[in-house]
Amino acid sequence: MAARTVQKSAIPIQNPNAIKVVAPNGTNKDPDAATATSPSVKSQTASESSPTVASAVANHPSATVPPVAEGSRPSALRAPGNNWQSLDMGGVGIRNIPTTSGLFSFTFLTNLYLNHNDLTAIPPQISKLRHLELLDLSGNHLESIPPELGMLTSLKELYLFDNALRKLPHELGTLHQLQTLGVEGNPLDLSLKQMVQKDGTHALIAFLRDSCPIPASPPERQWTQFVSQPERDAMASDPNAETFSLFCYNILCERCATERLYGYTPSWALQWDYRKELIMNEILNYTGGQK
């Protein structure tokens, strides 16, 4: 791992106003390279002194691009406090991650690198790492990824380069904060690849979200009766008994059902016409169909 080479694509920015240090022999020396002993070492030292490169090396040890900048979002869960938040297990020949692996107890992780191993599957328990913002699974032998990845709603970068993926689960559509999705090098449907190339990651995520199958209806409510069965029978047989029905629902108003606040929800499910019909059907179901 220590010998892994990292290609640096950033170009160091030189300060034209920097004061040149004059060496005893009369030659000018770059202050940033004052300790260099050869041209190659000087180039490396100057590059690493650049804020751009230093940030990339410190925060992104194994990928070839620097992390995506923090974007504004309505709310975010804070990761549990810990003195380290990145774990790099890339290029070490991992073939299997057991479902009982201690890896899934590191819920404080924000960056996880599993790239360039021999993995053929990712356990669904990865959904426990809810604070992940970067996940690199590139260069493995994955033929599928678990739908549970859609629960990692804090993800901003997901790299799946050079695997054997033929399709992506619709559950990835809930990754509303995802800014970079790497899918090149997979035998995916050509239309999905073109969507990313032409319109970007957000277009593919929106497509997966809006084309997801309609989920099954929730189970029937379990009602708690405050009136005993004999009393209900007596009221039903008494023509003078007066009864009424009371409903209490927390219904999201139309102007608050926006994609910005509920980016993980399909756009058609946020439409008022769709929601209004469901609300009316719910009310009519418990009033005998009478308005």
Secondary structure of the chain as H, E, C letters: CCCCCCCCCCCCCCCCCCCCEECCCCCEECHHHCCCCCHHHHHHHHHHHCHHHHHHHHHCCCCCCCCCCCCCCCCCCCCCCCCCCEEECCCCCCCCCCCCCHHHHCCCCCEEECCCCCCCCCCHHHHHCCCCCEEECCCCCCCCCCHHHHHCCCCCEEECCCCCCCCCCHHHHHCCCCCEEECCCCCCCHHHHHHHHHHCHHHHHHHHHHCCCCCCCCCCCCCCCCCCHHHHHHHHHCCCCCCCCCCCCCCCCHHHCCCCCCCCCCHHHHCHHHHHHHHHHHHHHCCCCCC
Rg (CA), the chain: 28
* Res 137 pLDDT > 90: yes
98 — pLDDT class (breaks 50, 70, 90): very high
Q: Is residue 50 included in any domain, yes or no? A: no
Round the average pLDDT of the chain to a whole number and report it: 76
- 200 & 255 share domain: no
Q: Label residues 259-268 b or e (16+ Cβ within 10 Å = b).
A: eeebbbbbee
Q: Is residue 258 included in any domain, yes or no? A: yes
Interatomic CA distance for residues 193 and 160, integer angstroms: 12
Interatomic CA distance for residues 213 and 248, integer angstroms: 29
CA atoms within 13 A on the CB side of 143: 1
Q: Is residue 15 included in any domain, yes or no? A: no
Q: What is the pLDDT of residues 197-214, one digit of tens each?
A: 888 888 888 888 888 777
- 96 & 201 share domain: yes
Task: Give me the mean pLDDT over the 152-177 stretch.
Answer: 92
Task: Give me the mean pLDDT over the 89-105 stretch.
Answer: 94
User: How many domains would you assign to the chain?
Assistant: 2
- 177 & 267 share domain: no
Which domain does 266 fall in, by range? 246-291
pLDDT for the residue 8: 43
* Res 169 pLDDT > 80: yes
* Res 127 pLDDT > 50: yes
Choice between 70 and 124, residue whose per-residue pLDDT is larger: 124
* Domain at 112, CATH number: 3.80.10.10
* Res 168 pLDDT > 80: yes
* Res 52 pLDDT > 50: no
Task: Give me the mean pLDDT over the 90-108 stretch.
Answer: 94
Interatomic CA distance for residues 279 and 262, integer angstroms: 19
Q: Is residue 197 included in any domain, yes or no? A: yes
Q: Is residue 4 included in any domain, yes or no? A: no
Q: What is the pLDDT of residues 228-282, one digit of tens each?
A: 888 888 888 888 888 777 777 788 887 877 777 776 777 777 778 888 888 888 8
- 103 & 198 share domain: yes
- 189 & 265 share domain: no
Q: What is the pLDDT of residues 170-205, one digit of tens each?
A: 989 889 889 999 999 999 988 888 888 888 888 888
- 94 & 201 share domain: yes
- 203 & 133 share domain: yes
Task: Give me the mean pLDDT over the 86-102 stretch.
Answer: 94
138 — pLDDT class (breaks 50, 70, 90): very high
Q: Is residue 34 included in any domain, yes or no? A: no
Q: Is residue 144 included in any domain, yes or no? A: yes
- 194 & 103 share domain: yes
- 201 & 104 share domain: yes
Q: What is the pLDDT of residues 54-79, one digit of tens each?
A: 444 444 444 444 455 444 445 555 66
* Res 38 pLDDT > 60: no
Q: Is residue 125 included in any domain, yes or no? A: yes
- 93 & 180 share domain: yes
Interatomic CA distance for residues 171 and 150, integer angstroms: 5
* Res 290 pLDDT > 70: no
Task: Rounding to the nearest 10 degrees, give the CA dihedral for residues 184, 144, 76, 251.
Answer: 120
